Chains A and B, each alone.
Chain A
Amino acid sequence: MRPAADRLVDDYLRRLDSELRDLPRARRRELRQEIAEHIDEARDGLAAESEADVRNLLERLGEPAEIAAEARERLGVHPRRAGFIEVAAIVLLPVGGVVIPVLGWIAGVILLWVSEAWTVRDKLIGTLVVPGGLLVPVYLALAAGDSTSCSGSFDAAGRVISRSCSDGGSGLWHALAGIGIVALVLAPLITAVYLGRRMRRPAAPTALTSARRAASAP
C-alpha cells in the first residue's frame, strides 16, 4: 500500500508547490516544509497505514488552493494583475523585433524579466522560444525570396530578349523550409499565449474568500 500512499503525498505536495508559486521564496519554502513535516508526523502516528488513511489525513489538511489563499491573505501577498509591463512584454516578444529590428525584441525581454508575474522558468521559455520572435521567420522568408535568381539576356538596346528564373532549390528543400518557417511563426505566438496564461492570478478579494470559506464550513 505504501507506494500508492507515497504517490498521493507527492501529488499533494506538487499541487501545493504550484499553488504557492506567487509567495515570496522564503515563505514558500517554510510553508512547504512545515506541511511536509505535518504529513510525515501524521503518517508516523498511523498504526498500519492504508491508502484511505493517507487520503483522510490529506483531506483534513485541506486543499492546497485553500492553504495558498489563506497564505496570500495572512501574509499580505497581492499578486499583480496583468499591468502595462506584462501586456507590453507579451506583445513585444513576438512582434517587437519585426517593428524595430532586434531592439524591439530586446525591450520585450527586459520587460519580461523585470515583471514579477512570471517564474524564472517561464521567463526562460519566453526568452528562448524563439529569440528574436517573429523577426526570425520574417527574415528567413525574405532571404528565401532573395535567393530566387533571375538571369536574362539583353539586346544591344537593353531590352530583355529572354529571361529565366531559378529558385535555386529542390522541391523537398522548399517543403522543409516551408515547414520550418511555419514552425518559427507559430512558436513565438504560442509562447505569447502561454505567457498570458501563466501570469500569476490576482488574489481573490478578502471578503469573497472569507465568504467562500464560511460557506464551506460545516
Chain B
Amino acid sequence: MSQDALVAQMRRGTLQYCVLAMLATQERYAFELVRALSEEDGMVTSEGTIYPLLSRLRRDGLVHTTWRESTTGPPRRYYELTAAGRSALAAFAEEWSRFRDAVDRFMEGRVQA
C-alpha cells in the first residue's frame, strides 16, 4: 500500500469516531457536523462523503436522529449518540490513546533495541 493510500485508510477508519466524539458533548444537526469536520484540515476531502458515514452510524444504531424545530428555517434533523455509540466511542478512545502513545514512543526514538 502506498503511503497516500495508507493515510487515506487511517483517515477513513478514524472518521467515524471523530463524528461520535463530536456528538459526545452535545447533539448537532447534520449540516453543522459536516461543516465542522470539513473545516478540520485533512479530515475529509469533500463534505458529501460524510453523509454515507452518518447513514451507516444510524443503521448500526450508534447514533439516533430527531427532528427539531429551528428558529431560523425549516426543522432540522439532530444527531445524538445512543448508548451503543457512547460505549463504542469509549472503547475506541482507550485503544486509540494506547496505540498513539506506542507509535509516538517509536517516532520519538524512545524505544531502544
Residues in chain A within 8 A of chain B (CB atoms): 27, 30-31, 34-35, 37-38, 40-42, 44, 60-64, 66-67, 70-71, 73-75, 207, 210-211, 213-218
Contacts and interface: CB of A to CB of B under 8 A. Distances in A.
Which secondary structure dominates chain A's binding surface? helix
Interface of B: 1-2, 4-5, 7-9, 12, 30-31, 34, 38, 42, 45-49, 51-56, 58-59, 72-74, 76-77
A30 B48 contact: no
A27 B55 contact: yes
B64 to A, nearest CB: 14
A140 B14 CA distance: 65
B19 to A, nearest CB: 12
A60 B52 contact: no
A218 B8 CA distance: 12
A167 B36 CA distance: 79
B75 to A, nearest CB: 10
23 contacts: A27-B55, A34-B51, A34-B77, A35-B48, A38-B31, A38-B48, A40-B74, A41-B31, A61-B47, A62-B45, A62-B49, A67-B51, A70-B53, A71-B55, A73-B52, A74-B53, A75-B59, A207-B5, A210-B5, A213-B8, A217-B42, A217-B45, A218-B45
